Amino acid sequence: MEMHGILKTTLFYKIRDLPPLPNAVLKITQLLEDTKSSASDIAELISKDEALSARILKIANSPYFGFPNPICSITHAVAILGFNLLRSVVLGVSALSLLSQEGKKDLLDRQQFWLHSIGTAIGSSLIARETKVPRTEEAFIIGLLHDMGKLILAQLAPMELSLVLERTRKENISIFEAEMKVLGTHHGEIGELAARKWRFPAIVQNAIKLHHRDPFSRGREDLSPYVYAANNLCKQGRIGWAGDYVVSPHLNEALEILGISVSGIEPLISEIKKGAEEVKNLLGIS
Identify which of 284, 273, 185 has the alpha carbon closest to the alpha carbon of residue 235. 273
Question: ∠138-18-160 over CA atoms, to 5°?
Answer: 95
Q: Which stretch binds Fe ion (CB under 5 A): 53-61, 128-136, 153-161, 227-235?
A: 227-235
Residue (98 or 207) nearer to Fe ion, CB:
207
Distance, in Å, from the CA atom of 268 to the CA atom of 123, rounded to the nearest integer, reads 8
Restricting to residues 76-115, name those near Fe ion by CB under 5 A. Answer: none
Could you tell me the CA-to-CA distances from 80 to 59, 70, 134 in Å, in that order? Answer: 13, 10, 16
Shorter beta-carbon distance to Fe ion: residue 25 or 242: 242
Q: What are phi and psi of 99, to 5 degrees?
A: -95, -5
The phi and psi torsions of 240 (rounded to 5 degrees) equal 70, -170
Contact residue for Fe ion among 137, 147, 160, 177 (CB under 5 A): 147
Asked if residue 50 lies in contact with residue 22, where contact means CB atoms within 8 angstroms, the answer is no
Residue 79 and residue 93: Cα distance in Å, rounded?
19
Selection from 23, 140, 33 nearest residue 84 by Cα: 33
Q: d(Cα 55, Cα 74) in Å, to the nearest integer? A: 11
Among residues 231, 237, 275, 276, the one that binds Fe ion under rule CB under 5 A:
231
Candidates 33-41, 147-155, 201-209, 247-255 — which segment interacts with Fe ion by CB under 5 A? Answer: 147-155
174: contact with Fe ion by CB under 5 A: no
CB of 231 to Fe ion, least distance (A): 4
Check binding of 124 to Fe ion (CB under 5 A): no
DSSP 140-175: HHHHHHTTHHHHHHHHH-HHHHHHHHHHHHHHT--H
- Size of site (CB under 5 A) for Fe ion: 3
87 or 235: CB nearest Fe ion: 235
From 19-27, 31-39, 105-113, 141-149, give the range in contact with Fe ion by CB under 5 A: 141-149
Q: Which is nearer to Fe ion, 136 or 231 (CB)?
A: 231
| The one-letter amino acid at 206 | N
CB nearer Fe ion, residue 137 or residue 147: 147
- Judged by beta carbon, residue 98 or residue 227, the one nearer Fe ion is 227
Our CB check for Fe ion shows the closer of 77 and 128 to be 128
Candidates 77-85, 134-142, 164-172, 241-249 — which segment interacts with Fe ion by CB under 5 A?
Answer: 241-249
- Select the span of 71-79, 121-129, 164-172, 238-246 touching Fe ion (CB under 5 A): 238-246
Point out which residues bind Fe ion (CB under 5 A). Answer: 147, 231, 242
